[in-house]
Amino acid sequence: MKNVNKNIKQSIYWNYTSSVIIHTIALLTSAILLKLLSPNDFGVLAILFLVLGLGSIFIGQGYVSAIIREKIIDNTILSTVFWINLGFGFTVVLLSYLLGSFLGEYFKIDNLKNYLSLFSFAYLLQATNVVPLAMLERKLDFKQHSIIHIYATIIAAIVAIFLAINQYGVYSLIWRGLSAGIVVTILVWYKSGWKPSFVFRYNSLKNIHQFSRGVLGTQILRYSANQLDNLIVAKLLGTSDLGIYNRAKTFVLKPAREINAKTRSVAYSALSKLDDPDEYRTTLFKFTLLLTMVIVPLLLIVLISSDTLIYTYLSSEWYPMINILKLLAISSIVISTSMPSQIMLSKGASFTLFKTEMITNVIKISVLLFAFKFANLLSIVTLFLLGQVLSNLLQNIVAYRSVEGYKLMIWKYHILPIFVALIVYGLAVLIDQYVTYSIFSMVYKLIICLSIYGYYAWKTYPEILKSIRN
């Protein structure tokens, strides 16, 4: 257990250090690209992710979680998973080429076939990386995992900015993803130390099939429900509005989700190794509080500073993004600070997760279908986020019921910090009534609000914060 705790500490350090570096670079890169490219360019990129994202789910098929979770796994299983993924990668490339013209007409985007055909190779690269990256996570070797993605982010930023300056438009965004994939592929194969064998035995996967199918089904349902908003915006409002929405989601949801995902990956690896209920519960809520203490201040910064920064540095075509950013940040404070999926998966309940996901998807889709009555961006975003929050609430209810003694701890370590954060943001809104928009007033609000929240955390959770640090 001592070695596990040491590995967890190192994993958390590297995950969060890399997250700060990667998202700082990504934020600066995106800010530069917003000045160089149009909302329409980003809207086309969102269409590419919408179309190709489903292929990303099938590349892996839930086997990644199974590889990490299984106590014993041999090279026959790993090699079989690798060749299956590679087959799906080539399938994504082929289908992108064959369906490109049809999708271009459907979304009314010229040259979409060429965009899709090129961008699909990023998913082929991903197919080759699934197993070696999973092996790094299995060993809790997040140091190498983090370094690889830092290098990839830096190279991708340089490539994208260079191409955007030279007016390559959408291609600058496509090559941002491709160049990152190329760097990850080269480094992960060099660092992981794993190589596939020329063996394919599908029967070797029988012990992980049930678990992986539950994960795959959950991912497909989640993807379908989470992309419906993008599809509705694209069809009803066009690529420019989709570009604005996509950038807002990227600025708010991507950092929150990445931090959440990195914490979840460590938490899942750690929780899967724990059998004692008390130790499981304590470890779970340490991770929950850690998520909250990192994500909430970041989202408070978005809530407080977004309007001033957009009015100051961007053109008027980006102004509609302000209210969307605020809605996304408020909902993310609730959604991104919990890990119901990891609780169920760490207990081997992948089909419980799948069934829960089916129910929550009905909720998300039912709420979002009302968007057709409004057909404006803010209404669609509001309905989408309402469905997300309700679904997250249901998942948390199902997941935490399997954790002994969770009621008091979930209130203290999850609900209360969120409630305090919303009160702090309310204070920032109140200050806005007495000051004008300026960089000075923005900094003033940030100092006051973050100081209050930091003081609250320090006074309320001194022992647990010390435990997390140690």
Burial of 161 (0-12, 13-18, 19+ CB in 10 A): middle
pTM: 0.76
What sign does the CA torsion over 438, 441, 445, 446 have? positive
Q: How many residues does the chain have?
A: 470
Residues 245-304: tens digit of each pLDDT: 988 888 887 777 777 776 777 777 777 777 777 777 777 777 888 778 888 888 888 888
The Cα–Cα gap between 354 and 398 comes to 12
Radius of gyration from C-alpha coordinates of the chain? 22
Residues 402-448: tens digit of each pLDDT: 777 677 677 777 788 888 888 998 998 888 888 777 788 888 889 99
pLDDT number for residue 48: 92
Domain definitions of the chain by residue range: 1-200, 223-470
Report in angstroms the alpha-carbon separations of 68 from 15, 102, 189, 199.
17, 39, 18, 21
Report in angstroms the alpha-carbon separations of 249 from 46, 209, 377.
11, 34, 13
Q: Which of 189, 177, 194, 185 is nearest to 115 (CA)?
A: 177
The answer for residues whose C-beta is within 8 angstroms of residue 125's C-beta and 6 or more apart is 89, 178, 181, 182, 184, 185
pLDDT number for residue 7: 60
Q: Which of 449, 13, 55, 77 is nearest to 216 (CA)?
A: 55
Backbone angles phi, psi at 70, to 5 degrees: -60, 135
**For the chain, which residues score pLDDT lower than 50?**
1
% of the chain exceeding 70 in pLDDT = 88
The Cα–Cα gap between 88 and 90 comes to 5
Which helix (H) or strand (E) segment holds residue 114: the answer is: helix 112-138
